[in-house]
Amino acid sequence: METFSRAGWWRGCRAALAITLGLSPFGLVIGVISASKGLSLLEALLMSGLTFAGSAQLVVLQLWAEPAPILAATLACLVVNLRMAPMGAALAPALDRIRGWRLWFTLAWLVDNGFAMFVAEMRAGRRDVAFVLGAGMGMWVNWMTMVTLGHSLGAAVELRPGHPIFFAAVATMLAILVPIWRGRGDLAPWAASALAAVAAHGLGLGAPWPVLVGAFTGAGLGAWQDLRREARA
C-alpha cells in the first residue's frame, strides 16, 4: 500500500484551499503587526517563511522590542511549539511507515490545521503521508501571500485590541475539529483540554502556557483512554 504518493499530495493541496479563506485574516494580522513593529517586508517574509507557525509568530511579535529579546522569544517559540510532540505521536501509525527525507521534509510542513485534516484522513482509512506535505505547502503559499498583503497595508490599517479579525484563525480551527469528532468518547479529553487551558489563563499564566497546558492535558487523557480500550480488546 503506497503511503507517499503524488495523488495524496494533490489531495492535501486541495484540502488546504478549502480553509485558506479562514486562515487569510490571520496572515494579514501577522503582516500588519510585523509592519507596526518596524520589520521590513523581507524580514517579515523570512520570519513567516522559515518559521511558518502563526501562534509562535504572534507571541514573538507581542514580545518584540528594541533590542530584540532573543532569549525570551526563543523560549516562547519552544513552549508554543512543544504541542507538536503529541501531534507527532498521534500520527505515528502513518509516519512510521516512511523514512528519510520524505519523513523529515513532511514534518517541517506540519501545522495544526494539516494535523487535524490528516487525522480525519486516517480515520477514513487513508494514510498517505504526502497529504500532510501537500496541505502544508498549500497553506504556506497562502500564508506568505497574506503576510505580504498585510505588511503592505500595515501603514494604512490599525486594528484595535480585540478586533474580530483576530478570531479568524480560532474559528477556522474549530471548524476543522468537526470532522475528527468521533462521538461521546472524545468528550472527556476535549473538555479536559479546554478546562485546563481556561484554568491556566485564570491563574494569570500568559501565552503560551494555556495552550501548552491544554494540549498536554487533552493528549494525556486521550492516550490513557486509548490504552484502556486496547487493553479491553
Per-residue pLDDT of the chain (233 residues; tens, 9 = 90+): 558 899 999 999 999 988 887 778 888 888 888 888 888 999 999 999 998 887 778 777 877 777 777 777 777 777 777 778 778 888 888 888 888 888 999 988 988 888 888 988 888 888 899 999 999 999 999 999 999 998 988 766 666 666 666 666 566 556 656 766 777 878 888 899 889 989 988 998 876 678 778 878 887 888 788 788 777 76
Do residues 131 and 232 both lie within one domain?
no
Give which of 170, 105, 90, 175 is closest to 140, Cα–Cα. Answer: 105
Do residues 74 and 98 both lie within one domain?
yes
Do residues 53 and 85 both lie within one domain?
yes
Chain mean position to CA 169: 9
Residue 217 lies in a domain: yes
Residue 230 lies in a domain: yes
Do residues 171 and 225 both lie within one domain?
no
Residue 68 lies in a domain: yes
End-to-end CA distance of the chain: 26
Structural domain boundaries enclosing 223: 184-233
Do residues 160 and 204 both lie within one domain?
no
Whole-number pLDDT of residue 232: 78
Residue 118 lies in a domain: yes
Q: What's the CA gap between 136 and 132, in Å, rounded?
A: 6
User: What is the Cα gyration radius of the chain?
Assistant: 18
Whole-number pLDDT of residue 155: 63
Which among 147, 162, 180 is the end of a domain? Answer: 180
Whole-number pLDDT of residue 137: 94
Residue 1 lies in a domain: no
Do residues 175 and 220 both lie within one domain?
no
Give which of 50, 75, 230 is closest to 144, Cα–Cα. Answer: 50
Do residues 103 and 71 both lie within one domain?
yes
Residue 95 lies in a domain: yes
Do residues 32 and 101 both lie within one domain?
yes
Q: What's the CA gap between 71 and 69, in Å, rounded?
A: 6
Residue 25 lies in a domain: yes
Whole-number pLDDT of residue 27: 86
Which among 136, 162, 180 is the end of a domain? Answer: 180
Residue 172 lies in a domain: yes
Which among 180, 195, 216 is the end of a domain? Answer: 180
Q: What is the pTM of this model?
A: 0.70
Do residues 127 and 218 both lie within one domain?
no
Do residues 213 and 168 both lie within one domain?
no
Do residues 166 and 59 both lie within one domain?
yes
The domain total for the chain is 2
Do residues 176 and 195 both lie within one domain?
no
